[in-house]
Amino acid sequence: MKRKILSVLLCVSMMAALTVGCGNGNKTDDSAASGNADTQDQADAPAADGAEDAPAEDSTAGDAAEGTAGDAAGGSSSGEKLVVGFAQIGQESGWRDGETMSIQTYAEEHSDTIELLYADGQQKQENQIKAIKNFIEQGVDVIGVAPVVETGWDQVFAEAQDAGIPIILLDRTADVDESLYATFIGSDMVEEGKNAADEMAKLLNSSGKIVELEGTVGASAAVGRKQGFDEQLAAAYPDIEILESQTGDFTRSLGKEVMESFLKTYDNIDGLFAHNDDMALGAIEAIKEAGLKPGEDIKIVSCDGVKGIFEAMVAGEANCTVECNPLLGPQLFEAAQKLKDGEEVEKWIKSNESVYTADQAEAELPNRVY
């Protein structure tokens, strides 16, 4: 309804502009078209490798999100297209870049029926909340969000609900009442942690001392993977001891830094469990610089299944990755269309995933697209 009102106002504005002069009106239209093109080009461009090591300044994130939402929504007042606003976490890892690529590519390939409003939260919850508020103001059909942390979403989700806009949680959950979101699309993080514990036990013959690199504090992926891993070790493998567990914030650079600290503190590390592959790749660098052989002297199990960890396994520098599929674009827009059409969707739409070990890495490597 809001887009229809905007459309009427736009028509009135255009008629008024014509009474002043076509030259001014044409100039305004050309400027707006240029702005939309610039915004879309930026959204479609793939994230640069290593972006997680140098995130952009967050002082401009809110303005960027607001500008993207405003420009994009202005071009789709007819209501014919499915308009989805998506608030991404940022670019903390290759996995995250793969998810962004999947969403943006799918929207681009279906641009005749889909309009994507994309906002990069730059690892800050306040940026994501501002983006969601902007999407609400623009009257999108559906809002998707990958929550950077679990808590603190109740108010803004309630605002979306009051506006009649359903929320889709993508790859991470939020600690809110289930009535505040339509569906969660993603993995069972606790199960991933359990699988990782089983694989570590196989590598260590159920006995040894390990360290754990956790993801972002408060993120559902970090909470679930730690819960599953730690509980499975305690229940099934009591002779595997976790020497220390510390956050690496899901980034390669901090993963390396924390692993360096672990290596200086302990000289008896048998294994490393990293909550994502990027932290594991950073840790591999630290292990090699310390004169040890990753994958041999220190067994390495991580989560996600990015191309880089498969390359490390082929090189003998990592042992196992528990896949967490980021290519969720098709599922996101399929669910969004159903919600726009008033159809029911499952509360949890699970992604298909596997566990890969070093002996499978070479055959699977060509299939990795992220």
Q: For tokens 């889709």, what's the residue?
A: 168
Pairing of strands 167-170, 299-304: unpaired
SS3 4: helix
Distances, alpha carbon 64 to alpha carbons 37, 94, 285, 298, 337, in Å: 15, 22, 34, 43, 26
2-20 helix and 22-44 helix, angle to the nearest 10 degrees = 140
Q: How far apart are CA 315 and CA 312, in angstroms?
A: 5
Residue 9 above 90 pLDDT?
no
- Give the mean pLDDT of the chain: 84
pLDDT at position 345 is: 97
Mean pLDDT of 103-128: 97
Element (H, E) at 74: helix 61-74
pLDDT at position 19 is: 33
Q: Helix, strand, coil % (nearest 5) of the chain?
A: 50, 15, 30
pLDDT at position 6 is: 37
Residue 2 above 70 pLDDT?
no
Query: Taking a C-beta distance cutoff of 8 angstroms, is the pair 139, 312 a contact?
Result: no
Give the list of residues 6+ apart from residue 219 with CB closer than 8 angstroms, or none: 147, 148, 149, 150, 172, 250
The pTM assigned to this predicted structure is: 0.75
- State the sign of the Cα–Cα–Cα–Cα dihedral 206, 208, 213, 214: positive
pLDDT confidence of 4, banded at 50, 70, 90? very low
pLDDT at position 8 is: 36
Residue 308 above 60 pLDDT?
yes
pLDDT at position 309 is: 98
pLDDT at position 78 is: 42
Give the list of residues 6+ apart from residue 288 with CB closer than 8 angstroms, or none: 294, 317
Mean pLDDT is lowest, of 41-50, 99-108, 179-188, for 41-50
| Domains of the chain, first to last | 2-27+60-185+328-351 (3.40.50.2300), 189-324 (3.40.50.2300)
Residue 321 above 50 pLDDT?
yes
Residue 287 above 70 pLDDT?
yes
Residue 30 above 50 pLDDT?
no
Gyration radius of the chain over CA positions: 23
Mean pLDDT is lowest, of 33-37, 161-165, 254-258, for 33-37
Mean pLDDT of 356-362: 98
Give the list of residues 6+ apart from residue 285 with CB closer than 8 angstroms, or none: 256
pLDDT at position 79 is: 57
CB neighbours (10 Å) of residue 124?
17
